Amino acid sequence: MYVLSRKQQNVKNQVKDGKEKVKMAQESHWKCKVAEMKAERDVFKMERDVLKSKENEWRTKETEMKMEKDVLITKENEWKIEQNMLKTERESLLTENTRLKRSLMSVVQMFSDLVTRLIT
């Protein structure tokens, strides 16, 4: 077995103490860095959660607007149907009016012919 002198033992102990100090300094440095990074990560998580919340709000609003759009489209279609019904009724009334005018003209002509025959 090899025995170290006191001086060698002291140097060995100083080197060992130096290594431990460097190791502790490195650990302390990295612990600070890790803590900073964790704090930064937490900030990012909170920002992400806020953005997700806003995204959900916008999606809800989008869904509501789509539903309102569908309701408006349905109402528009109902109005178009009603408009078509009114147009059809108008055309029917115009046709009936024309027919009645012709009938009236025919009756007037017959009456006129009758009066003319009676007078002559």
Mean pLDDT rounded to a whole number for the chain: 94
Backbone angles phi, psi at 105, to 5 degrees: -60, -40
**What amino acid is encoded at 48 in this protein?**
R
pLDDT in tens, 63-120: 999 999 999 999 999 999 999 999 999 999 999 999 999 999 999 999 999 999 888 7
Q: What is the pLDDT of residue 52?
A: 98
Q: What is the CA radius of gyration of the chain?
A: 50
User: In which band, very low, low, confident or very high, does the pLDDT at 1 lie, cut at 50, 70 and 90?
Assistant: low
